[in-house]
Amino acid sequence: MKTYCLNIEISSVSIDTIINDIYNKKYITIAGCNVNTAVRSYYDESLSKIINSFDYRIPDGYPLTWPLNISSEQKYNRLAGADIFDYLVENDTQLRHFFLGDTEEVLKMMEKNLNRKNEKFQISGLYSPPFTPIDEWDLEKIAKLVLNSNTDMLWVGLGFPKQEIFISKIRHLLPEVSVYGAGAIFQWTAKVKNRAPVNWQKAGFEWLWRLANDPKRLWRRYLIDNTLFIFLFLKQYLNKSKFSQPLRD
Tens of pLDDT, residue by residue over 55-69, are: 999 999 999 999 999
Q: What angle do CA 155, 159, 161 make, to 5 degrees?
A: 105
The pLDDT of residue 207 is 65
Average pLDDT for runs of 10 along the chain of length 249: 95 96 96 95 96 97 94 88 94 97 94 95 96 95 97 96 97 97 89 72 67 68 86 93 86
The predicted-structure confidence for 129-139, as pLDDT tens digits, reads as follows 999 999 999 99
Report how far residue 130's alpha carbon sits from residue 112's, in angstroms, rounded to the nearest whole number: 22
The pLDDT of residue 199 is 75
The pLDDT of residue 249 is 59
Determine the length of the chain: 249
The pLDDT of residue 248 is 76
The pLDDT of residue 184 is 86
The pLDDT of residue 209 is 66
Does an H or E element contain 68, and which?
helix 66-71
Report how far residue 14's alpha carbon sits from residue 89's, in angstroms, rounded to the nearest whole number: 18
The pLDDT of residue 105 is 95
Backbone dihedral region of 188: left (phi > 0), alpha (psi from -120 to 50 degrees) or beta? alpha
The pLDDT of residue 197 is 72
What pTM, to 2 d.p., does this model score?
A: 0.91
Report how far residue 205's alpha carbon sits from residue 115's, in angstroms, rounded to the nearest whole number: 30
What is the separation, in whole angstroms, between the first and last Cα of the chain?
Answer: 23
The pLDDT of residue 191 is 86
Report how far residue 197's alpha carbon sits from residue 120's, in angstroms, rounded to the nearest whole number: 27
What count of Cα atoms within 13 Å lies in the side-chain half-sphere of residue 5?
28
The pLDDT of residue 212 is 67
